[in-house]
Chains A and B, each alone.
Chain A
């Protein structure tokens, strides 16, 4: 493509990037996040690699099994990308869904130099194929760590309707860095799971304010669980991803030791807190109770001041 053609394509794509990340489908997120027209899908829907398990339960299949994987370019540089569709079975990991992400990470591991973007939108493992799904989570985590050990940066983007739960939360914890929006929730056990197992006194899943201030993007960013905060637009996710890809630490024993001491320090300082607001108060944030109401720009300034993430850790 000529330079003029490229500029024209970029220009025409820009207004669309104001679209809500939360509302967009997996395919729309990929198309608008990457440079216009650069995405090439691997194992696309026309190959009909559907789940072998769902028909046993008389459930409908999706041709891409709920995940889009491929390669493209981000600001001119090559990237691998995987995007989960949170509306198909809650974006849950099944056998084929998981295998597509494992394959992508292994390709990145072998090539060593191309970063991977994972657009999480998942409730965790698909219950109808639980064993295959759990195995897939383990395979993905291994492939992700092998890729990072080979020098690949893996960035997670979280801001979809299903959040990032269960095995998805474990995989996110393995990434080089995470971009999160206010709508993006990150945890392993979801609100209903905690309430079912530990009782409503432990966690009231119907208290939405509690759910959001415990698992939502703002708290994850302040605690250092996520490294960058984005407004709920494709454009903001794109610029935060570009920035984080450049600044995320290389993987090695030094990084792991820095991460260990970062987590130890966090546990020591906040281990006794019973609520996110107590953590924010312990952090010395003035007007801690108003954190959930802060607009994005003021929140980003606050998070940068608190600085609980470390560029040397992860």
Chain B
């Protein structure tokens, strides 16, 4: 297992008021993303635990692209990865942000 952490400053806060969302399953080629609204509006953080070691540069590129596209200010993402491909990671992150954009019930 390898642990990776990424910190980014963001242009704006993530939309919506939802405090927590979870998407995905930890299985081969899949991952789960837990999103929590626990940071200040101008930052985001991703904590990753992955079964596939040695892909730090790929993760860094995927995360940078994600932050650029979605500006998820205020969100912390905790990821358990079962060896997902980069496109699956991007999809799950986008899904997680989309879920957080909903109103808290």
Stretch at the interface among A58-66, A100-108, A137-145: A58-66
Looking at the complex, which one of B22, B27, B30 makes contact with A45 (CB distance below 8 Å)? B22
Please tell me if B57 contacts chain A, counting CB pairs below 8 Å. Answer: no
Please tell me if A55 contacts chain B, counting CB pairs below 8 Å. Answer: yes
Contact status A61-B34, CB under 8 Å:
no
Stretch at the interface among B5-13, B77-85, B87-95: B77-85
Chain B proximity of A221: nearest CB distance (Å): 29
Bound state CA distance, A59 and B32, in angstroms?
A: 14
Contact status A87-B34, CB under 8 Å:
no
- Chief secondary structure at chain A's binding surface: loop
Please tell me if A182 contacts chain B, counting CB pairs below 8 Å. Answer: no
A107-121 vs B: 1/0 string, CB under 8 Å? 000000000000000
Q: Of A27, A61, A62, A87, which is in contact with the most chain B CB atoms at under 10 Å from its CB? A: A62
Given A45-B34, A46-B36 in contact, is the A61-B49 Cβ separation under 8 Å? Answer: yes
Looking at the complex, which one of A37, A48, A63 makes contact with B105 (CB distance below 8 Å)? A37
Residue numbers in B under 8 Å from A59 (CB-CB): 1, 51
Please tell me if B50 contacts chain A, counting CB pairs below 8 Å. Answer: yes
Given A25-B25, A27-B22, A87-B27 in contact, is the A62-B80 Cβ separation under 8 Å? Answer: yes
Looking at the complex, which one of A44, A58, A60, A85 makes contact with B80 (CB distance below 8 Å)? A60
Contact status A61-B30, CB under 8 Å:
no
Q: Interface residues of A, CB < 8 Å — how many? A: 18
Contact status A63-B36, CB under 8 Å:
no
Bound state CA distance, A48 and B25, in angstroms?
A: 14
Nearest to B1 among chain A residues (CB) is: A58
Nearest to B36 among chain A residues (CB) is: A46
Please tell me if A11 contacts chain B, counting CB pairs below 8 Å. Answer: no
B24-50 vs A: 1/0 string, CB under 8 Å? 011100101010100000000000011
Residue numbers in A under 8 Å from B27 (CB-CB): 87-88
Nearest to B35 among chain A residues (CB) is: A46
Residue numbers in A under 8 Å from B22 (CB-CB): 27, 45, 63-64
Q: Of B22, B26, B78, B80, which is in contact with the most chain A CB atoms at under 10 Å from its CB? A: B26
A34-70 vs B: 1/0 string, CB under 8 Å? 0001000000111010000001001111111000000
Chain B proximity of A1: nearest CB distance (Å): 10
Bound state CA distance, A87 and B26, in angstroms?
A: 8
Contact status B78-A63, CB under 8 Å:
yes
Bound state CA distance, A55 and B3, in angstroms?
A: 12
Residue numbers in B under 8 Å from A62 (CB-CB): 25-26, 32, 80
Bound state CA distance, A153 and B20, in angstroms?
A: 32
Contact status A60-B25, CB under 8 Å:
no
Nearest to B31 among chain A residues (CB) is: A60
Contact status B81-A60, CB under 8 Å:
yes
Contact status A88-B25, CB under 8 Å:
yes
Contact status B105-A60, CB under 8 Å:
no
Given A37-B105, A46-B20, A58-B1 in contact, is the A63-B34 Cβ separation under 8 Å? Answer: yes
Bound state CA distance, A55 and B36, in angstroms?
A: 24
Residue numbers in B under 8 Å from A64 (CB-CB): 22
Contact status B36-A60, CB under 8 Å:
no
Contact status B32-A63, CB under 8 Å:
yes
- Near B by CB (< 8 A), chain A positions 54-103 give 55, 58-64, 85, 87-88
Bound state CA distance, A103 and B100, in angstroms?
A: 30
Residue numbers in B under 8 Å from A48 (CB-CB): 78
Residue numbers in A under 8 Å from B36 (CB-CB): 46
Bound state CA distance, A44 and B36, in angstroms?
A: 12
Nearest to A63 among chain B residues (CB) is: B34
The 6 closest A-B pairs by CB, nearest first: A62-B26, A87-B27, A87-B25, A60-B51, A45-B22, A60-B26
Sampled A-B contacts (14; CB under 8 Å): A46-B36, A59-B1, A60-B26, A60-B51, A60-B80, A60-B81, A60-B82, A62-B26, A63-B34, A63-B80, A64-B22, A85-B25, A87-B25, A87-B30
